[in-house]
Amino acid sequence: MCAVLPEGHPLASLDELTLADLADEPWVLAERGSWPPWHREYDEDFRRAD
């Protein structure tokens, strides 16, 4: 998973992040129908993180 964070963000200096690290952060995702395989992968990642 790739995360893009603004320069100076407290998490931006970390080499690796988990979904738990990003739990309270805002997310921007493309519309679900724009690329179904990408969304299926994220759906599975989110399920495993619960």
Q: Are 1 and 8 in contact (CB under 8 A)?
A: no
pTM passes above 0.85: no
pLDDT at site 1: 55
pLDDT at site 44: 92
Domain count for the chain, please give it: 1
Q: Are 35 and 42 in contact (CB under 8 A)?
A: no
User: pLDDT below 70 — which residues of the chain?
Assistant: 1-3, 50
Residue 10 lies in domain: 1-50
Q: Distance between CA atoms of 11 and 16, rounded to whole angstroms? A: 9
